Amino acid sequence: MKITVLTLFPDMITPVIGQSIIGRARYENKIQIDVIDYRAYSLNKHQKVDDAPYGGGAGMVLQVEPVVRALRAIEGHEKALKILMTPQGEPYSQPRAQALSKADHLIILCGHYEGFDERIRAYFDTEISIGDYVLTGGEVAALVLIDSTIRLIPGVLNKDASHEEDSFSDGLLEYPHYTRPPTFEGQSVPEVLLSGHHQAIASYRRAESIKRTRKRRPDLYESYVKRQKKP
């Protein structure tokens, strides 16, 4: 997979994508991530990419021209899935990450300022929000999308670090984990996990996963129950 990030702050992205699992996946050529500063595509002699809003009001607005020029300079941009990061977009979710992980090429635009010229929307295929809150810019949101997506690409996680049982993968929160020591300050590991009985462990985990989801995320639990009732 190839990901191209359009940003005004490459230094917010570059150090992060050199680390940990993303860094290793890049090093092993399992993914390619290009970070492009779209200020370089400004036609303004001071490389300005924002201007005051028509009609007045607070803040500055990202201009359409530099964004479209930067977009058109990306090789393969016609076929890529072009994503706009915005709090007004579709709420991001694990199923969406799963779908994005199958794409060949993602182009992600990080906005800034008060907002962007509405005409920018026409050049993007989809708009994604990482939650109902407002960030200063789209960089952190883009990193959330990149991290959650690339870990689902086959071969990116270690063989022993499966994502199939992660929270949300099957619509439930994941079961609790324990490791050594067996007892710590009066808290003991559930007996069943020490039993070596694989079927009993699997049943325990499934039950805990359902119990935890019901308690913490009644919305997910409701959907799970509905799915179970379907013929």
* Residues of the shown chain interacting with ligand SAM in the complex, contacts defined by CB under 6 A: 85-88, 110-112, 114-116, 129-131, 133-138, 141
Q: How many CB atoms lie within 10 A of CB 81?
A: 15
In DSSP terms, 115 is beta-bridged to: 61
Report strand pairing: 2-7 vs 32-37. parallel
CA dist., res. 43 & res. 57, Å (int): 24
Q: Which is nearer to ligand SAM, 140 or 193 (CB)?
A: 140
3-state DSSP call for residue 139?
A: helix
Q: Quote the least distance from Cβ 175 to ligand SAM, whole Å.
A: 29
CA dist., res. 40 & res. 36, Å (int): 9
Catalytic residues: 87, 114, 151, 166
CA-based angle 231:172:89, to the nearest 5? 100
Q: Quote the least distance from Cβ 89 to ligand SAM, whole Å.
A: 6
Q: Which is nearer to ligand SAM, 92 or 175 (CB)?
A: 92
Q: Point out the residue whose Cβ comes nearest to ligand SAM.
A: 111
CA dist., res. 45 & res. 131, Å (int): 36
Q: Which is nearer to ligand SAM, 32 or 88 (CB)?
A: 88
Q: Quote the least distance from Cβ 93 to ligand SAM, whole Å.
A: 13
Q: Quote the least distance from Cβ 170 to ligand SAM, whole Å.
A: 25
Q: Which is nearer to ligand SAM, 136 or 162 (CB)?
A: 136
For residues 13 and 38, the answer to whether their CB atoms sit within 8 Å is no
Strands (E), 28-121: 32-37, 50-51, 61-62, 81-91, 105-110, 115-116
Q: Quote the least distance from Cβ 91 to ligand SAM, whole Å.
A: 9
Strands (E), the chain: 2-7, 32-37, 50-51, 61-62, 81-91, 105-110, 115-116, 126-129, 183-184, 187-188
Q: Which is nearer to ligand SAM, 64 or 135 (CB)?
A: 135
